[in-house]
């Protein structure tokens, strides 16, 4: 069994896979992805998988998300159909007093080139006839959409393997050492050695960092999602909190809780979520809920991605973020550039781990 690699990516989620695939486009051998379970068993498999730009703040972070959303059509061409749909995104508001805030958001986005429209009540109902008629208006952006996260990761893995990337699953990393300019990665199944090490552990980033004495301030945030029975296609857009999947199921989720790594669902939140969904789209009151699941999201302490070189550690990189689905193609591209070219095509200094001191 091969245990010596040029680059090891710890974490086979949507972020780790994005990096592995983009690396494999430029060099064909010597990449290993390690996953403690199996890709899609964690955060990346328990998400609504929006590719979402609008109403992320401040505007420079929205811009970063937009670049990634713009990469999706190209990504599909490279790795195959991932059911990416640029549906456009609607964020409704129910009080006229929110219109001013919406206009300010639109203005701040306009300056960086993201077009957001502030829609009247009539316009919202024309676009999305099943929206609650009590809606006051909505912000709308055409760049938003969604993707099938299972297809996304599966296609990433197929393309990466074709390009020579190795995967080792159900193989938890237990120890990392730095030795003679290399990294020794001890896992359940083997001990590996590599030159470049990328920490893409998502919700487990903090624990991974501690193995090297580094603080990666990522916390866990639980989101509970409800799934309806398959319904005829009736929602046109990705709406704040809900979307209709290709098979007709409507996914609904609004909650954010601190529950550590506990992925249980609770009826308290399930009922709240159902009420919210019905408030947005009253017709959902008639739909049957067939399933509920929780996802544990990675949330850096200040909410923004932690990307790039780890200060003080040569050839050590970190990629830990919320919104991994949206940002995956961009992060994959940038980390690849950083490793192979030593610099990135768009600046990522602002996302450095060093900001936490």
Residues that bind other proteins (CB under 8 A): 42, 203, 261-271, 292, 294, 296
Among the listed residues 207, 199, 201, the one whose alpha carbon sits nearest the alpha carbon of residue 183:
199
- Element at 244 (helix H, strand E): strand 242-244
8 A C-beta contact, residue 203 and residue 306: no
Least distance CB 251 / other proteins (angstroms): 18
What is the CB neighbour count within 10 angstroms for residue 115?
Answer: 12
Toward other proteins, which CB reaches closer, 145 or 209? 209
Cα–Cα distance, 139 to 127 (Å, whole number): 12
Least distance CB 266 / other proteins (angstroms): 4
Least distance CB 260 / other proteins (angstroms): 8
8 A C-beta contact, residue 200 and residue 19: yes
CA angle 238, 244, 246 (to 5 degrees): 115
Cα–Cα distance, 315 to 331 (Å, whole number): 17
Least distance CB 298 / other proteins (angstroms): 11
8 A C-beta contact, residue 115 and residue 25: no
Least distance CB 204 / other proteins (angstroms): 8
Among the listed residues 237, 48, 32, the one whose alpha carbon sits nearest the alpha carbon of residue 130:
237
Least distance CB 203 / other proteins (angstroms): 7
Toward other proteins, which CB reaches closer, 67 or 293? 293
DSSP codes joined into one string, 278-333: HHH-GGGGGSPEEEEEEEEEEEETTSS-EEEEPTTSTTEEEEE-SSHHHHHHHHHH
Toward other proteins, which CB reaches closer, 48 or 203? 203
Toward other proteins, which CB reaches closer, 213 or 285? 285
Residue 91 has which token pair? 């964020």
Residue 140 has which token pair? 């709308």
Toward other proteins, which CB reaches closer, 256 or 346? 256
Least distance CB 43 / other proteins (angstroms): 8
Toward other proteins, which CB reaches closer, 134 or 268? 268
- Relative to beta strand 250-252, strand 242-244 is antiparallel
Toward other proteins, which CB reaches closer, 45 or 300? 45
């Amino acid at each position: 069994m091969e245990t010596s690699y040029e680059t090891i990516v710890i974490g086979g989620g949507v972020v780790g896979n994005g990096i592995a695939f983009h690396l494999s486009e430029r060099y064909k051998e010597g990449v290993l992805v390690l996953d403690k379970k199996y890709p899609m068993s964690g955060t990346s498999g328990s998400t609504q998988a929006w590719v979402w730009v609008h109403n992320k703040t401040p505007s420079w972070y929205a811009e970063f998300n937009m670049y990634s959303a713009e990469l999706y059509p190209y990504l599909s061409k490279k790795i195959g159909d991932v059911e990416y749909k640029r549906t456009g995104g609607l964020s409704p508001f129910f009080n006229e007093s929110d219109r001013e805030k919406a206009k300010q958001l639109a203005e701040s986005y306009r300056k960086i080139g993201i077009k957001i429209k502030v829609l009247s009540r009539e316009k919202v109902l024309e676009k999305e006839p099943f929206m609650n008629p009590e809606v006051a208006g909505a912000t709308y952006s055409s760049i938003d959409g969604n993707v099938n996260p299972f297809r996304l990761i599966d296609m990433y893995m197929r393309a990466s393997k074709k390009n020579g990337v190795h995967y080792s699953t159900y193989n938890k990393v237990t120890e990392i050492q730095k030795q003679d300019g290399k990294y020794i990665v001890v896992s359940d199944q083997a001990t590996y050695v590599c030159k470049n090490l990328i920490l893409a552990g998502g919700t487990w980033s903090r624990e991974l960092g501690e193995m090297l004495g580094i603080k990666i301030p990522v916390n866990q945030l639980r989101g509970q999602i409800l799934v309806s029975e398959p319904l005829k296609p009736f929602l046109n857009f990705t709406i704040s909190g809900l979307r209709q999947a290709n098979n007709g199921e409507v996914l609904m989720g609004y909650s954010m809780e601190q529950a550590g790594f506990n992925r249980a669902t609770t009826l308290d939140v399930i009922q709240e979520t159902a009420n919210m969904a019905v408030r947005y789209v009253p017709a959902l009151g008639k739909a049957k809920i067939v399933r509920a699941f929780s996802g544990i999201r990675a949330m850096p302490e200040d909410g923004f991605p932690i990307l790039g070189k780890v200060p003080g550690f040569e050839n050590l990189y970190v990629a830990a973020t919320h919104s991994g689905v949206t940002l995956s193609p961009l992060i994959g591209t940038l980390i690849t550039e950083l490793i192979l070219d030593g610099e990135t095509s768009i600046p990522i200094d602002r996302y450095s781990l060093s900001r936490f001191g």
